[in-house]
Structure formats: structure tokens, C-alpha cells
Amino acid sequence: MVEATAATTKQNFKEFAENLEEVKAAATTEVVQVLPIDAEQKDTILVSVEENIKKLLLKLAKKQEIGWVESNPEDYAHLPNSITGVIVYYILKGIKDELGYEFEKQPKSLTYNLSKHDRKVAGKKRLLTRDQKNELIAKTQMGYYEDKMKSGEMDINAAMFAIRDAYERIQNFKEIGYILPEQKTAYPHWADEAGEEAKGED
């Protein structure tokens, strides 16, 4: 009789545990609200961050050991292969976890393949036209923004931010070996190229 009671109690406890797990699962079920997204509509966000944040994002994107702490690149092998992709991944994750929102389709920036820019870098293709290079260099000068500041479209802080962003972009090109000559007639070129005055037409 005692054995039967023990068996029954054990069975009841098992059923209780199973029911409890079902209740817990139901309670933690996500209620996600879907947001629209249009892959054809693009915009740009300029982000100025501390140097080590950028270094960390790059290591995550390139699947390298972090260095400051013990890390295993396999733990973040699922992340996109670009800094932009990693940033968007964690932004979307935070929005979903905190607010319960997610977009109806995965943004293209979360692609796991090399971006068009990355493919150009790998193949040492031209990344900027001569006009684009000249405009980027011009953006490092305050004079480039004078008209916008006079019209009220931009204040001094925004101009300084834009100047810094332009300098950082030039530095990023330099870091991968892509040279932007200051001479207006010169074309941008890779460091191991001669950098002739004319390399096709823009």
C-alpha cells in the first residue's frame, strides 16, 4: 500500500512538473509586433564612437579573437561580416528584446555574404570615383559647410561632426591601403598601384 502511494505521488509530481513547464513556457511566449520595411528605401546614420568600440565591432565582423578578454570566434560566427551588419544585428535584437518589435523581412545589411564594398576591397577594385574622392576631401574643410550654416540648415556642432566623419572615412580608406591623393586631378588608387593621373573616366 505504501509502495502504491509512493508510486502515485511520484506520478502526480511528474505531471505537476510537466504542467508547470507548460505554464512557464506559455508565460514567456514572445508577443512580437511586426514592423514594415522597404529594402529600396535607404538612408544613412553617422555614428561617432570610441576607438575600442569600433575595434570590437570589427573583430566580431571578421571573426577574430577579441584580445582584451578570452574569446572564441565560434561564439559569434553567426554575426554578419561587416561592422554595419553587426551594429544592425544588435540594434534589432535590442528592439525585439526590449520592445517586442521586429521587421517583417530581414534587412539586407544582415547578409552573411561579403558586401559589394567588401568584394571590391578583396579584388582591389576602385572604391571611389575622382569626383567622390574630391568631395570627401572637401568635406574635411569648414568652408564646405559655410552655406549650410548661414542658411540654418546646419549648426557648428553638426559641421564639426561631419568634418570628423570625413577624416575618419579617409583614415579608414588609408588603413586598407586605398590612397586618396589631395590633387584634384589625381584618381584614388591602391597603395601598390602607380596612381596614374588618368584611370578611366568617372
pLDDT score of 113 more than 70: no
pLDDT at residue 197 in the model: 43
| Lowest model confidence (mean pLDDT) among 28-32, 59-63, 170-174 | 28-32
pLDDT at residue 90 in the model: 92
Give the whole-angstrom CA distance, residue 81 versus residue 62.
6
CA–CA distances in Å: residue 126 to residues 4, 70, 93? 81, 37, 34
Using pLDDT thresholds of 50, 70 and 90, give the confidence band for residue 135: very high
| pTM across the whole model | 0.45
| Lowest model confidence (mean pLDDT) among 19-23, 54-58, 170-174, 191-195 | 19-23
Higher-confidence residue of 11 and 201: namely 11
Q: pLDDT of 9-29, one tens digit each?
A: 555 656 666 665 665 555 444
Contact 125, 188 (CB under 8 A): no
Contact 88, 109 (CB under 8 A): yes
Give the whole-angstrom CA distance, residue 51 versus residue 173.
16
Q: pLDDT of 144-157, one tens digit each?
A: 999 989 998 889 88
Bridging pattern class, strands 189-190 and 178-179: antiparallel
Q: pLDDT of 40-95, one tens digit each?
A: 777 777 677 888 999 999 899 888 899 898 888 888 888 888 888 888 889 999 99
Residue type, 166: A
